[in-house]
C-alpha cells in the first residue's frame, strides 16, 4: 500500500489539473472493466454540492446518452460554473470477486491487537475502469468503508482561469433524486470515510491516478 506522503503527492499533483484531458478521462472511465460498459459516468455539480446526470438536464435522467459533442458541450459549460464530478472507482463489500480476477489482494493490520480480539474479517472489492483489487480488514480496526450507494472520483472546475481537481466521494440516499459530492481531506483521521489517509481511499486514489488521462 502506498504511504501517506505518496497519497499527498498524488492529491497535490492532480489539484493542478491544467494537463488533465477531461474528455478522454470521461471516455476511459465509461468502461468499467470488470463490471462492463458504462458503469462509471460524469455528473454536473450545482450550488450546494448536489449533482445531476447529463440526461437529467435534458429532462430524462434514465435516458441513455452518447458521449458526443452535445454531451461534452454541457460538460464544458458546467466547468465554468460549479464544476463536474467524474466517477472513477468504488468499494463494494457485497460483490464477490474471485481472487483470480484481482491484480492484488491487500490485508490490512495497523493496530497492535491480540489475535483473540479479531473476530470479523471483511473483504472489499476495489474497482476502477482499469483494475480490480481486493482489500481485507478486520472490523475491529475501525476503518470506515464506503456504502453501496457511494463512489470515488474527481471534482473538476475552473478557478481563476485554471483547472482544479480534487478527490471526492459521491453519495446518495435511495430516496434522493440527486447526489452529494464530498471532498476528501487530509485533516481527518485515517478511520474517517473522507480521509485522504483512509486505507481504502489510499488504494483507490492510487488506482484512479492510473486511469486519469493527461495531455502531453
Q: Kindly give, in sequence order, each residue whose CB lies less than 8 Å from that of residue 142, ignoring residues fewer than 6 positions away.
A: 191
Task: Give the model confidence (pLDDT) of 77-121 as tens digits.
Answer: 999 888 999 989 888 877 788 889 899 999 887 666 566 666 788
The C-alpha angle 185, 25, 28, rounded to 5 degrees, equals 120
Residue 50, pLDDT above cutoff 60: yes
Distance (Å, whole) CA 20 – CA 146: 26
- The rounded percent of the chain whose pLDDT value lies above 70 is 85
Listed in sequence order, the DSSP H helices in 16-140 are 22-29, 54-57, 69-79
What are the residue boundaries of the structural domains of the chain, listed by start? Answer: 4-89+147-209
Q: What is the pTM of this model?
A: 0.86
Residue ranges in 30-172 assigned as alpha helix (H): 54-57, 69-79
Burial class from Cβ neighbours inside 10 Å (0-12, 13-18, 19+) for residue 112 reads: exposed
- Cell numbers 480480539 label which residue? 117
Whether 143 contacts 192, CB under 8 Å: no
Amino acid at each position: 500500500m502506498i504511504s501517506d506522503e505518496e497519497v499527498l503527492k498524488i492529491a497535490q499533483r492532480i489539484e493542478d489539473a491544467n494537463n488533465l484531458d477531461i474528455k478522454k478521462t470521461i471516455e476511459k472511465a465509461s468502461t468499467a472493466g470488470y463490471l462492463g460498459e458504462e458503469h462509471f459516468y460524469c455528473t454536473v455539480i450545482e450550488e450546494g454540492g448536489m449533482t445531476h446526470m447529463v440526461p437529467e438536464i435534458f429532462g430524462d435522467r434514465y435516458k441513455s446518452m452518447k458521449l458526443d459533442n452535445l454531451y461534452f458541450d454541457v460538460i464544458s459549460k458546467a466547468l465554468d460554473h460549479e464544476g463536474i464530478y467524474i466517477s472513477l472507482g468504488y468499494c463494494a463489500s457485497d460483490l464477490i470477486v474471485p481472487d483470480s480476477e484481482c491484480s492484488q489482494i491487500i490485508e490490512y493490520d495497523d493496530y497492535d491487537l491480540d489475535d483473540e480480539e479479531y473476530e470479523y474479517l471483511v473483504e472489499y472489492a476495489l474497482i476502477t475502469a482499469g483494475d480490480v483489487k481486493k482489500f481485507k480488514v478486520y472490523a475491529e480496526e475501525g476503518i470506515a468503508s464506503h456504502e453501496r450507494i457511494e463512489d470515488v472520483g474527481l471534482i473538476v472546475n475552473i478557478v481563476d482561469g485554471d483547472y482544479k481537481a480534487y478527490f471526492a466521494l459521491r453519495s446518495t440516499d435511495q430516496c434522493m433524486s440527486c447526489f452529494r459530492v464530498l471532498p476528501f481531506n487530509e485533516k481527518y483521521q485515517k478511520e474517517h470515510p473522507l480521509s485522504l489517509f483512509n486505507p481504502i481511499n489510499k488504494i483507490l486514489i492510487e488506482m484512479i491516478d492510473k486511469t486519469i488521462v493527461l495531455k502531453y
